[in-house]
Chain A
Amino acid sequence: MIHLTVNGDPHSAEPGPAESLLSMLRNRLGLAGSKDACEQGECGSCSVILDGELVCSCLVLAADTDGSEIRTVEGIADGDDLSRVQEALLAEGGVQCGFCTPGFVVAATHLLDTNPDPSDDDVREALAGNICRCTGYGGIMRALTALREDS
């Protein structure tokens, strides 16, 4: 049995020996916001913030997260109020099919938390681990640009 904090709430779970954090979040903790698209750490759809670090939750062993603090896409909005990253993605057309969106929300939130004024190249590099197949990244770039100009 492991104990961890997810989006501020305490959770306990008994993951399988080879189970990923992504599987535990989705299948044991009922947090299906993190998406499963490659299970190889290549697409970023399952991005979460683990003890302050941006990780692909498919590459993290669930058993290793005992005592950790995790922030998932479900923990980004403040109740009914969307975060500024979420608002900007909606306003600038950064959401189409939406499967990559939770990962982008988490990764962009982490980027702005750690680098409040990223250059274009910083944004491209920081989000290069999140694949979007629909938008061509244009709407996502415009969202991040708008946030940069806000700050």
Chain B
Amino acid sequence: MSAPRPDGTPKVRGEFAFSSDLSAEGMLWGTTVRSPHARARIDRLDTAAALAIPGVRAVLTIDDVPGRRLFGLEHPDQPVLAEGEARFWGEPVAVVAADDRETARRGADAVVVDYTELEPFTDPTVAEDRGETFRVFDITHGDATGTVVVEGYYETGMQDQAPLGTESGLAIPDGEGGVDLHISTQWLHADHEQVVASLGLEPHQVRLHMAGIGGAFGAREDLSLQVHLCLLALHTGRPVKMVYDRSESFVGHVHRHPARMWYRHEAEPDGTLRRVEAKIILDGGAYASTSSAVLANSAYFAVGPYRCDAVRVHAVAARTNNPPCGAMRGFGAVQSCFGYESQMDRLADALGMDPIELRLKNALAPGDRLPTTGQLIEGSMPVREVIETLRAMPLPADETSGDPRRLPGGTGNTTPASAVVRGVGFAVGIKNLAFSEGFDDYAEVRASLGPDGLTIHTAAAEVGQGLVTVLEQIGRSATGVETVRVVWDTTAQIGSAGSSSASRQSQMSGGAALSACEAVLAEALRRGAGDRLDDAGVWRGDELVTSLADLTADGPIEQLERFRHPRTHPPDEHGRGDVHAGYAVAAHRAVVNVDPELGLIRVVHVDTAQDVGKALNPQAVIGQIEGGIMQGVGLAVMEEMILRDGQVANASFTDYLLPTFADAPTVEAAMIEDPDHWGPFGAKGVGEPPTISSTPAIVAAIRAATGAALTRVPVRAEDIASQWSVASDQ
């Protein structure tokens, strides 16, 4: 039985306040002037005409940024507003505040910017040749070779996180030179640090408040409108609200890096993997964001969850004039998984071996070393278990209904039942948990026991994943008190929880909550001289010794805890070292129906077995698995930001295709519980693994159905149809 979401009832009633629902007395609306060019010199920026519009209260440019003009999560290299040159299509150039949203938009239209268009650099391979890179990372280990060799070239497209809630927030000046910012973000304190730097204020003068978050998936890790809102509020002395519309959201946050990958696998005739070589180029776009870390992740997991004696990985994050790329669910592991799992199928074919047997033959286990880093695997690593569990799950029955809605053409009625071919595909993925490479990764939680129960204070972002429920559950389990609530403190009231990313919050903030609650319990029992706590108070045997009210009459019993995972280290010059705190693995099996003549696909069913350590809230875990798989479906068959000379051609929900209910496969999930060596109750993060191997499993299924050599995602209709027509001519 899973505990219910405390935020569920207001959400189904329409009463839950998302950041776009906030308002304040005397509030202005902000909007952003954006570059219409992928690369252009800014010759003149004239705000006079905009300021002359009645109701326009401020028009700000880079010259109005009092502090650091650059921001960035890892390397501050991105101007708060373009300075001298616009480096990607949609880059913010100026911001406007006005009495209402329409006036703000008219003001933005009236800002005069004279550009000299420059030729954009949009090809990451050319960028690498020119030395335009954010990071070049090589992993070199071993000299082994194998006699059976397969090579392949693979690509993945630029996917968007597309959270339903667009970027939005409300900044309120405090009248004393400071500001309160209400914002939906994945990492309140990282935002705070960057906002403070750009405003040139003292940290205590800027307070960030967590506002309701309409999904994230990596899109909210970097700053978007945070500094802009504060600048406008401080400049006008009035509250300012900003809400991106959908087209703006598509350029207002970073995206999943498109990847170009070359792979060479070498194995013994018995299937033993001996050598993997890979070259991976990620297009980082115009600014650094988290490209360095995403790149390293692609490289660290370039072999997958398999043993291998020799590894050569050359990985490059290129700088181009395309939209900046950064964090998205799976964080680099998604791209290389498509590469190595496509290769494993190719290798199985070359060996004449069952592809599942090939994977089992090479599956990593505790006590092995990760082939890339050489790090000894501690804790759980149930690769064999996820594969075998998945293999034992029954396949769905063949389609019998004949309902056109179940056919690849759907209600378009384009595909007759007789044209449908079915395929089954399989893939396994691996992901690190929490932050790696020596980053000081921690999460702070304060537990407070008062007369009304237990309160857990945190700054951790509840992006929809259900952390709020898990923290409450941990509070109840750890103390015996049933009345538990989670409170989001501001940056002035609590330390960082780190990011709601890298599948880390259940372990990190969960771990901090567990320690804090256990300390509160111990203190309550000491003060009450009892042996058990609940909502009534402290008990000794069957006797209530002290009520909660008496116990906390002099103030709440509080404990602040800062949780850290096992220490990690940067890699050496060969890319080797103890860089990760832990891992999770998952396997996916997809069943697809395809109309090969038209290239239409329906993903019918996906089975998965996922390593979850310990499922703290099974319903929330299933929700993460199903939702994550759907994003893998999206990358496999439809989701891609189309760029033309650096410009996004499909920045809308009409043109960027997201899986709907009609596209959703049924999902069966098996949770493999093998408690890990850290994290509360042995739990592991669960958010990202579903998105990693679901994509290659679906593509493998389409290959199995059609025989087409599909090396690129998303798979396009013409990729299938063109190969089918060639095959049927022969």
Contact = CB atoms under 8 A, between A and B. Distances in A.
Interface of A: 16, 26, 31-40, 42-43, 45, 72-74, 76-77, 82, 86, 89-91, 93, 95-102, 105, 121, 123-125, 127-141
B726 interface: no
Nearest to B22: A32
Point out which of A76, A123, A137 has the most chain B C-beta atoms below 10 A from its C-beta. Answer: A137
B246 interface: yes
B8 A136 contact: no
Interface residues of B, number: 60
Contacts of B12: 82, 86, 89-90, 95, 98, 101-102, 105
Judged by DSSP, the binding face of A is loop
Contacts of A96: 215, 464-466, 623, 627
Contacts of B629: 136
B463 A97 contact: yes
B661 A130 contact: yes
3 closest residue pairs by CB, A with B: A33-B14, A97-B464, A98-B11
B164 A131 contact: yes
A32 B630 CA distance: 28
B201 to A, nearest CB: 31
B166 to A, nearest CB: 7
B653 interface: yes
Contacts of A72: 14
Point out which of A77, A89, A99, A136 has the most chain B C-beta atoms below 10 A from its C-beta. Answer: A136
A147 B165 CA distance: 28
Contacts of A39: 245-246
B480 interface: no
7 contacts: A38-B653, A95-B11, A125-B405, A133-B163, A136-B626, A138-B623, A139-B626
B8 to A, nearest CB: 5
Contacts of B405: 121, 124-125
Contact of A134 (B8, B215, B667): B215
A138 B215 CA distance: 17
Contacts of A37: 164-166, 214, 246, 653
A111 to B, nearest CB: 11
Nearest to A87: B12
Contact of B213 (A42, A97, A139): A97
B164 A99 contact: yes
A74 B626 contact: no
A75 B7 CA distance: 19
A137 B661 contact: yes
A9 B149 CA distance: 73
Contacts of B15: 33, 74
A44 to B, nearest CB: 9
A128 to B, nearest CB: 4
Interface in B639-683: 652-654, 658, 660-662, 664, 666-667
B546 to A, nearest CB: 35
Contacts of B213: 97
Contacts of A98: 7-8, 11-12, 16, 18, 214, 464
Given A74-B15, A138-B622, 8 more contacts: A82-B13, A89-B12, A97-B463, A99-B163, A102-B12, A130-B660, A133-B658, A138-B623
B346 interface: no
Nearest to A77: B13
B399 to A, nearest CB: 12
Contact of B102 (A16, A35, A42): A16
A131 B623 contact: no
Contact of A93 (B215, B406, B622, B662): B622
A91 B667 CA distance: 18
Contacts of A90: 4-5, 8-9, 12
A100 B164 contact: yes
B8 A135 contact: no
A35 B363 CA distance: 46
Contacts of B406: 121
B440 interface: no
A97 B13 contact: no
B290 interface: no
